[in-house]
Amino acid sequence: MVAKPIQIAQPCLGAEEIAALTQVVESGWLTQGSRVAAFEQAFAQRHQVAHAIAVTSCTTGLHLALLALGIGPGDEVIVPSFTWVASANAVLYCGATPVLCDIDPRTFLADCDDCVARVTPRTRAVIAVHLFGRIVDVEALRTKLPQGVAVIEDAACAAGASLQGRPAGSLGDVGVFSFHPRKVITTGEGGMITTARTELAERMAQFRNHGATVSEEQRHLGPRPHLLPGFPVLGYNYRMTDLQGAVGVVQLARLDRLIDERAERANWYRRRLSGLGWLRLPDEPEGMRHGWQSFVCGVEPPFDAVAVMDALEAAGIASRPGTHAVHTLSYYVERFGFRPEDLPGALQAAGRSLALPLHNRMTDEDFQRIAAVLDRLTPRNI
């Protein structure tokens, strides 16, 4: 009998989400409306911020955050190289230059000293990536940055995570979250921007809706369009649908329970796999509530990360590298002339990281099976 495959990630959706979607369909209002507004309000309250702006993805949220900060041609934004490519791409969308910094391969987060060393008079912002749900110490970073350099939290993986009691998305000037299906909570696609700064919130809300000064509901249910204010800025269609907003409200209500379950499983992994000297396990520093979007380990020589992933795949267990090193991706090599050795920490992390399955639909038997496969591995049999 073939064992069932174990997926690297799987969304946790059910009857409540179906009921919420049905209500939206029956209402006849599908675009951004009351459900999105309810999701925004609940998300802002949960993450202790004044404003939350729903968008189509974390990528578009990063784009709007940069635009709202006035970043454009001639400006530089520092981005860690070990991250999903969207963190750097969003800078290019604005005509600005992404300056890649190295990371600490033990934590997979930006190397603070290397980040600060790359600051120039043209640096306008730093994107602090809370990778895999582990929080960057934004306050410590701020103390080393020149005044006027903004901090944008790429919190794609960090909904519900916190540091010293302060939630992700409340630590920097702007925070941006993802609701992709590999995240702890999902709306299929979708994202959320958070900020305490009213002027930034108003600007981002306007940019996401074609540059309009009024909402979709005001345009369609209020006075005739020719009687409404115009479109004073160039904007984009980055609106979330009410279908997604309705799902988001249901998912957000489960967020803390889902993270608690993942934290319990992550602790089990760390206890059970602690004897594998070749596998460097992620930790959870004191004062941090890890978001546990992924359980990403480091694979130490003489073991090879790709060979370990192949062995897991042969046993029906999905695994992945943590993410990629942006400076090794062909577009960035061709455009900026990066060499692999330019950012050795990111290069090492890309080649030696291993994401093990971690999601809320896994069973005790799934975790035991993964551990048993890892127990059997030796440098000779993979």
Q: What is the C-alpha to C-alpha distance for residues 111 and 102, in angstroms, rounded to an integer?
A: 6
CB of 110 closer than 8 Å to CB of 128: yes
How many CA atoms lie within 13 Å of 65's alpha carbon, on the beta-carbon side? 39
Summarize the confidence of residues 347-366 as an average pLDDT.
98
Instruction: Report strand pairing: 162-163 vs 288-289.
Output: antiparallel
302 preceded by a cis bond (ω within 30 of 0): yes
Chain centre distance of CA 35: 23
CB of 319 closer than 8 Å to CB of 356: yes
The residue annotated as part of the active site, out of 134, 183, 289, 369, is 183
174: DSSP letter: E
Our answer to whether residue 183 is catalytic in this structure is yes
Mark residue 320 as left, alpha or beta (left: phi above 0; alpha: psi -120 to 50; beta: remaining). Answer: beta
Q: In what order do the strands lie in the sheet with 76-80?
A: 51-55, 191-195, 174-178, 150-154, 123-129, 76-80, 97-101
What pLDDT is stored for residue 151 in this prediction? Answer: 98
Structure confidence by residue, pLDDT tens digits, 29-74: 999 999 999 999 999 999 999 999 999 999 999 999 999 999 999 9
Give the angle subtended at the CA of 127 by the CAs of 267 and 318, to the nearest 5°: 40
Residue 262 CB-density burial (10 A; 0-12 exposed, 13-18 middle, 19+ buried): buried
Kindly give the interhelix angle for 34-46 and 242-272, rounded to the nearest 10 degrees: 30
Q: What is the C-alpha to C-alpha distance for residues 354 and 267, in angstroms, rounded to an integer?
A: 17
What pLDDT is stored for residue 212 in this prediction? Answer: 87
What pLDDT is stored for residue 3 in this prediction? Answer: 83
CB of 5 closer than 8 Å to CB of 316: yes
| Phi and psi torsions of 70, nearest 5° | 80, 20
Q: Which residue ranges form the domains of the chain, and what is each CATH number?
A: 15-252 (3.40.640.10), 255-376 (3.90.1150.10)
Structure confidence by residue, pLDDT tens digits, 295-345: 999 999 999 999 999 999 999 999 999 999 999 999 999 999 999 999 999
What pLDDT is stored for residue 160 in this prediction? Answer: 98
Q: What is the C-alpha to C-alpha distance for residues 153 and 168, in angstroms, rounded to an integer?
A: 8
Give the position of tokens 């996401």. Answer: 208
CB of 321 closer than 8 Å to CB of 355: yes
Structure confidence by residue, pLDDT tens digits, 226-259: 555 678 889 999 999 999 999 999 999 999 999 9
CB of 168 closer than 8 Å to CB of 159: yes
pTM of the shown model: 0.95
| Residue 129 DSSP SS3 | strand
Summarize the confidence of residues 97-105 as an average pLDDT.
98
